[in-house]
Amino acid sequence: MKRRSLVGAVGLTTLLAASGGAWARTYPTRPVHLILPFPPGGSTDAFARIIADPLGALLGQRVVVDNRAGAAGTIGANAAARAAPDGYTLLMTPSTSVLSAVPAFDPRTPFHPINDFTHIIKTVATPMSITVHPSFPARDYETFLREIRRHPGRYSYATSGIGGSSHLLFEQFKFETKTSLVHIPHRGGAPAILDVVAGHVPILVEVVTGVLPHIEAGRLIPIVVGAPQRLTLFPHVPTFAEVGLPRLNLVISFGISGPRGLPREVVERVHAATLRVLADPAVRRRLEDVGGIPSTPSLDNTPERFTEQIRLEFELFRSVVQRAGLQPG
């Protein structure tokens, strides 16, 4: 079967497609900036720093991690979307959140998840989780649910930002469990985690990667996770599906994207190098050690499949927003 042209999918002009091959054979000739739309210390940062060095080694140029936090990840994502489509500015982000949930929640988001990007490859996924500070009067899901139902409006929960996947996940949780809690948004996962660890907010909705060290140290208590099955990291914790909330049983995907109009040759160069990185057992172990599920290093992990996944997630979150009656401030 003839491979579908990514150039056509992103609307690249004939001239650029023709000229791209000449210079892309030598790409890259200088460092590549990998924008992360969240501050250091969160799951996006952890995954990117594991992948960046070996990816740079394969590309022959350093991959520079560039943290640009704010507005639930849209500041960094928009910077990547507006960058020159030459392959020297890329984006690594939780696509389930920044490229799907956020624009689904707020139509004023300054980019479209499909029309303004060239999506390259899915790299890793991680389960979503609800955890609590040790002072919270619950250690398991049943007690947790009973407590928040008994005291509507008393408790607050922290997320990485307004309109992100963690926010929409918990808003849907409130809708389905008929509970009332106060949302405390932050400028990324790391600040949200620190606020809960410090005891300022009792409940945290965040991916497992960011909370794992704090769970192991006893600073956070896991209540429920979004995963196909219970995690070996804490097998006593049920999944959302097990507690009767299958629509919330989400695994958050992370991937690498570039601006709209990225030449196919550059896409294929980054894609092939990233596949080789993901095939490295040492890299996979490091990703797993911080709570990640590395993508299968196969040719099925194509730009087209990654793009379609983002489109489907975007549509899913739009339906959640509409059903729950959520509106941006």
Cα torsion angle, 235, 204, 107, 92, sign: negative
Q: What is the CATH number of domain 128-248?
A: 3.40.190.10
Q: What is the pLDDT of residue 290?
A: 84
Q: What is the pLDDT of residue 6?
A: 35
pLDDT tens digits along 194-218? 999 999 999 999 989 889 999 999 9
CB 208 within 8 A of CB 233: yes
Q: Is 256 helix (H, G, I), strand (E, B) or coil?
A: strand
Residue 140 tokens read as 């398991």
Q: What is the pLDDT of residue 159?
A: 94
Beta bridge mates, 255:
93, 122
CB 255 within 8 A of CB 95: yes
Is it true that 6-126+251-324 and 128-248 share their CATH fold?
yes
CA atoms within 13 A on the CB side of 156: 13
Q: Is 244 left (phi over 0), alpha (psi -120 to 50) or beta?
A: left
Q: What does each of the 329 residues of the chain score in pLDDT, given as a tens digit?
A: 333 333 333 333 333 344 444 545 689 999 999 999 988 887 889 999 999 999 999 999 999 999 999 888 899 999 999 999 999 999 999 999 999 999 999 999 999 999 999 999 999 999 999 999 999 999 999 999 999 999 999 999 999 888 888 989 898 899 899 999 999 999 888 899 999 999 999 999 998 988 999 999 999 999 999 988 898 889 999 999 999 999 888 889 999 999 999 999 999 999 999 999 999 999 999 998 888 889 987 767 999 999 999 999 899 889 888 887 888 86
Q: What is the pLDDT of residue 299?
A: 64
Using the structure block, give the residue that is written with the tokens 């960058």.
83
CB 257 within 8 A of CB 118: yes
| 21/82 Cα distance (integer angstroms) | 22
Q: What is the pLDDT of residue 17?
A: 41
Kind of pairing between the strands at 156-159 and 182-185: parallel
Q: Is 178 left (phi over 0), alpha (psi -120 to 50) or beta?
A: left
Q: In b/e form, how buried is each residue of 220-246, taking b as 16+ CB within 10 angstroms? A: bbbbbbbbeeebebeeebbbbbebebe
Question: Could you tell me which of 148, 146, 171, 176 has the C-alpha nearest to residue 159?
Answer: 171
| 245/250 Cα distance (integer angstroms) | 10
Domain 6-126+251-324 has CATH 3.40.190.150: yes
Kind of pairing between the strands at 156-159 and 203-207: parallel
Beta bridge mates, 132:
203, 221
Q: Residue 97 has what DSSP assignment?
A: I
Q: Would you list the domain boundaries of the chain?
A: 6-126+251-324, 128-248
Query: Whole-model pTM?
Result: 0.78
Q: What is the pLDDT of residue 316?
A: 84
